[in-house]
Amino acid sequence: METAIDVSGLRMRYGADDVLNGVAFRVGEGEVVALLGPNGAGKTTTVEILEGFRMRSAGRVEVLGADPAQGDERWRARVGVVLQSWRDHGKWRVRELLAHLGAYYAKPWDTGALMAMVGLDAHADKKIKMLSGGQRRRLDVAIGIVGRPEALFLDEPTVGFDPRARQEFHDLVRRLDTTILLTTHDLAEAEKLADRIVILAGGRIIADGTAAELARRIAGEDEVRWTCGGERHAAFTTESTAFVRKLFGEYGEAIGELEVRRASLEDTYLALVREHETEAAR
């Protein structure tokens, strides 16, 4: 997999305080990576540096082979950004706005095809101020990808969404064929959308891997619970599927109330952050 985003030794200092201190991670072409971390961890600062909106204090950063701090218009045309919020253009109609913005790119999406892709073709002539929250977020994504970006940054993409709108947005993101770096406080969202999770705390990367890999790092073993002959049983194993298969092979239909509990991303995230905070306090 070719590298689309490459960060090493990234530092950001405000006065005597290091907001970022030696941040390093990579995102491969076509990969979806979620950047997680508590408030004040430096997520927004990191993303703004990658987008070219903020100058770093030190370190090396490349997005699509270029330093964002020196990115020209051709580079910016290859990068898409979906902010948590942006200035409304409520009087524009959906089709008009997308066609207008698309005219600034060399090879934009066809407006009709783009609206169909994000599920807005039925609302093409509706004024933006009349869109629902979910429809508006679809428009935000359409704006972010109108120029066919090779890298897309999503900042807290579903803040304030109801469950249905959130699910619709997740379905849309899964259909996008581009490199994506997203920040979110919704751990379930990160687990659903991301190929990989990067956790930032105290200005440093404290974990990097798939949700399953991070869970194994903290939990180590799955917990299996079941009843047999009226008695409750529990066991811990790193191979829960094989363990359950063996149970049924030995006891068959006598097995009841079977439950396999794997550590969730939330369990893993909280454990990693607590571990970091404990070490930092020493």
Three-class SS of the chain: CCEEEEEEEEEEEECCEEEEEEEEEEEECCCEEEEECCCCCCHHHHHHHHHCCCCCCEEEEEECCECHHHCCHHHHCCEEEECCCCCCCCCCEHHHHHHHHHCCCCCCCCHHHHHHHCCCHHHCCCEHHHCCHHHHHHHHHHHHHCCCCCEEEEECCCCCCCHHHHHHHHHHHHHCCCEEEEECCCHHHHHHHCCEEEEEECCEEEEEECHHHHHHHHHCCEEEEEEECCEEEEEEECCHHHHHHHHHHHHHHHEEEEEEECCCHHHHHHHHHHHHHHHHHC
Same domain, 69 and 110: yes
Evaluate whether 182 touches 153 at the Cβ level (below 8 Å). yes
More confident residue, 88 or 276: 276
Distance in angstroms (rounded) separating the CA atoms of residues 80 and 150:
8
Same domain, 60 and 130: yes
Q: What is the pLDDT of residues 74-85, one digit of tens each?
A: 999 999 998 766
Amino acid of residue 10: L
C-alpha gyration radius of the chain: 22
Domain that holds residue 83: 3-215
Output the average pLDDT for the chain. Answer: 88
Same domain, 167 and 196: yes
Same domain, 203 and 227: no
Same domain, 117 and 48: yes
Put simply, whether the predicted model's pTM sits higher than 0.75 gets the answer yes
pLDDT at 88: 66
Q: What is the pLDDT of residues 143-169, one digit of tens each?
A: 999 999 999 999 888 776 778 778 888
Residue range 35-56: mean pLDDT, rounded = 92
Same domain, 138 and 240: no
Q: Could you give the number of structural domains in the chain?
A: 2
pLDDT at 218 over 70: no
Domain boundary among 215, 237, 259: 215
Domain boundary among 215, 235, 252: 215
Domain boundary among 175, 190, 215: 215
Same domain, 52 and 91: yes
Q: Tell me the pLDDT band of 237, cut-offs 50, 70 and 90.
A: confident
Same domain, 236 and 132: no
pLDDT at 174: 85
Same domain, 109 and 74: yes
